[in-house]
Chains A and B, each alone.
Chain A
Amino acid sequence: MDYLDQLEAEAIAILREVAGQFEKPALLFSGGKDSITLVKLAEKAFRPGKFPFPLVHIDTGHNFPETIEFRDKLVAQLGEKLIVGYVQDSIDQGKVIEQTGKNASRNALQTVTLLDTILEGKFDACIGGARRDEEKARAKERIFSVRDEFGQWDPKRQRPELWNIYNGKIHKGENVRVFPISNWTELDVWNYIKRENIELPSVYFAHERDVIMRNGQWMAASEYLNMDEEDIIIRKKVRFRTVGDMTCTAAVESDKDQIDDIILEISQSKISERGARMDDKVSEAAMEDRKKGGYF
């Protein structure tokens, strides 16, 4: 079997296990290419039926406007339910405090909103688009990853995961994070998007944008980024290889606006996908620490 067929079949089987094993699952949708791929896989797993779960978006308020627009269009097309948890609400409720300074980002704050949204929706399983090839802490992640009441990931206490049997048994209050595309690489996702003709937000393709240089990376100039007189805004042709918040996702200079060219550019790139994530660069164990705190 071709590798994309194999990865697709595995992901569909994992999604169906979620449907079969849990009472109230949810699909975490960020508007990025990985979660858009998950939505396509969910269609393949459950159509002509409805999805046995809603889409859940944790909105930091610092999203690319293109992503939000895309999200709403996609949800309307699908005819599925969308639940949005707002980081702004967590800030207003005093549960988190907005970071200050030049590198301020809401990335870390969204964990609190995520955990609150899980609690409120009583979700016992949350499907996410994380992949093991992204980052070294994620390389050790299970496909069914049990989190305690505080959303914590404990790498030393992971359940052994054998064959294609996924143990989703949990106690009340716990939940499981499920990663159906664990075994996909960045290129696999792109090749699948191409093969399936999946539509993506326009930020993934080359476009003109105002950017500023921060820590050696091009960041989108926006009202969410704390800028001062030292920051010089330049107009450049860029695209985004990974899409999170505007404050923590860096752009790459590129004139590639066709998927074939983007795939070629990525396969020749000397920098990893998460090299464009400021949130991973805080320390050597940035992801490991965030995951232990309830992040993905």
Chain B
Amino acid sequence: MDILKFLTAGSVDDGKSTLIGRMLYDTESILQDQLEAIQNSSRKNDDGSIDLAILTDGLKAEREQGITIDVAYKYFQTEKRKFIIADTPGHIQYTRNMVTGASNADLAIILIDARKGVIEQTIRHSYLVSLLALEHVVVCVNKMDMVDYSEEVFEKIHADYHSLAVKLNLHEVTFIPVSALKGDNIVNNSLNMPWYKGKSLLDHLETVPVREMDALLPARFPVQWVIRPQTEELHDYRGYAGRVASGAFKVGDTIKVLPSGMRSKIAKIETFDGEHAIAEEGKSITMHLEDEIDISRGDMISEAERQPIVSNLIEADICWMDTRELDTSATYFIQHNSKLTRCKIQEILYKVNINTLEKVNADAFGLNDIGRVEIKTADELAFDPYETNKRNGGAIIIDSRTNVTVGALMLRAAL
């Protein structure tokens, strides 16, 4: 069994919380004591049935205000798959949360209210999904019960969204007409929409293939930690501990250590459970090299064939996540995999109006702004363009005064 991580984008009004609640409820993922807590709650639907949206409300602060203030993670499983939902709110001021949720998701569910169709918010959410390069998009046209389950309404939205998807370069888009409130096409195929021949949402989530292309990516291994027991019997033991970011390494492969550029061969790949001939993406391993070279945390071991870009002048897309504006004269930290170094965001090339997708001039760059920047780093980074390998193309900006994460970077190219 594998895990699918997905995110749901939409506002409270689109019925997003109800959709998640419905999925948890209909897959029997809600236990008796949790259900009792909801039933005891004062919030009910108009018809007196329990409000499934409560299932995703976490904090007291949120219940008081009736909003979702942060990313919440929900877990459920069926016989076919395990699921992790990143529940992110859809209000404009929470772009930052959606970017955060999307950075760890394989798939995005974009909710559209059947009565409203493709609106500004839909464009915003879809843009973020394309910026973060999610593999799959599912457009759920919700509240079909409020439009008499009309095929015409669904087809109109389908057509409208299709042109947006083309513009945003989203290629894996699936459309499903649903009613989260009534449960149509969520877990079971709806009897109210016989004209819809596709899968129900859950059926789709259970069967959509994830990470198919990943085996073809170049091999990257950021070193997190050097294991040196320095005991008598393990006097010369020197293992490089880390997690394979992408591709696969085999014993005997020629590798290059970056940024130094030293070459060596893999002598041994091991874990606590023994030695291995090969280590693929996602595995946490300890690697041994044939030659004694100076390698420390923050270095990158790469396959010798297809090497990453090594540079200290980098062009990147950035999402700003702090209330304090981006300062082109300030020194920040940049963290890319296990590498931490100082940087300056030298120039803002443009800002994107995420409601219209226009590039605009940026005199100021504040919370939730997205755009293109030029960065100069103190040490060189060994990265891949985010769009070709997101496991080695994302980085964060940390404010050196507050230590807060203030920006998400999609690295694009060397300058």
Contacts and interface: CB of A to CB of B under 8 A. Distances in A.
| Residue of A17, A20, A133 most packed against chain B (CB within 10 A) | A20
Given A44-B272, A156-B69, A3 B60 contact: no
Contact of A9 (B104, B284, B403): B284
A270 B227 contact: no
Given A6-B3, A48-B237, A285-B59, A160 B97 contact: yes
Interface residues of B, number: 63
A265 to B, nearest CB: 14
B345 interface: no
Contact of B337 (A7, A165, A169): A165
Interface stretch (B27-35, B182-190, B195-203, B349-357): B27-35
A46 B243 CA distance: 13
A201 interface: no
Interface in A144-167: 146, 155-156, 158-165, 167
A170 interface: yes
Contacts of A182: 73
Interface stretch (A103-111, A135-143, A219-227, A255-263): A135-143
B283 to A, nearest CB: 6
Contacts of B337: 165
B20 to A, nearest CB: 12
A48 B227 contact: yes
Contacts of B390: 163
B103 A139 contact: no
B33 A271 contact: yes
Given A2-B2, A13-B224, A183 B31 contact: no
B396 A288 contact: no
Interface string B39-74: 000000000000000000111110000000111111
A130 interface: no
A274 to B, nearest CB: 8
B228 A49 contact: yes
Given A156-B61, A167-B403, A285-B60, A20 B73 contact: no
| Residue among A9, A13, A285 with max Cβ neighbours from chain B (10 Å) | A13
Contacts of B391: 163
Interface in A42-96: 43-50
Interface in B112-162: none
Contact of B321 (A5, A16, A136, A160): A160
A158 B273 CA distance: 36
Nearest to A141: B73
Contact of A165 (B3, B32, B59, B336): B336
Nearest to B84: A183
A139 B284 contact: no
Contacts of B271: 44
A247 to B, nearest CB: 20
Interface centre among B32, B224, B297, B336 (most CB of A within 10 A): B224
Given A17-B338, A272-B34, A288-B60, A159 B243 contact: no
Interface string A169-200: 11100000000001101000000000000000
B241 interface: yes
B225 A19 contact: yes
B297 A20 contact: yes
A155 B73 contact: no
A132 interface: yes
B312 interface: no
Contacts of A215: none
Contact of B58 (A8, A9, A137): A137
Interface string B329-344: 0000101111000000
Given A9-B282, A160-B96, A46 B103 contact: no
Contacts of A6: 2-3, 282
A282 interface: no
A163 B394 contact: yes
A148 to B, nearest CB: 12
A120 interface: no
Contact of B333 (A20, A169, A289): A169
B177 interface: no
B82 interface: yes
B205 interface: no
Interface in A1-49: 1-3, 5-10, 12-13, 16-17, 19-20, 43-49
B191 interface: no
Interface in B239-280: 241-243, 271-273, 280
Given A2-B1, A45-B284, A162-B405, A271 B31 contact: yes
B335 A275 contact: no
Give the residue among B1, B237, B242, B405 with the most A Cβ atoms within 10 A. Answer: B405
Contacts of A49: 227-229
Nearest to A271: B33
Contacts of A17: 224, 338
A161 B100 contact: yes
Interface-centre pick from A3, A132, A165 (highest chain B CB count, 10 A): A165
B224 A16 contact: yes
B229 A140 contact: no
Contacts of A156: 61, 69-70
17 contacts: A1-B280, A1-B283, A3-B1, A16-B225, A136-B59, A136-B72, A137-B59, A159-B404, A159-B405, A163-B391, A165-B336, A167-B405, A169-B398, A169-B403, A270-B32, A275-B33, A288-B60
3 closest A-B pairs by beta carbon, nearest first, are A12-B284, A169-B403, A44-B272
Interface of A: 1-3, 5-10, 12-13, 16-17, 19-20, 43-50, 132-133, 136-137, 139-140, 146, 155-156, 158-165, 167, 169-171, 182-183, 185, 269-272, 275, 284-285, 288-289
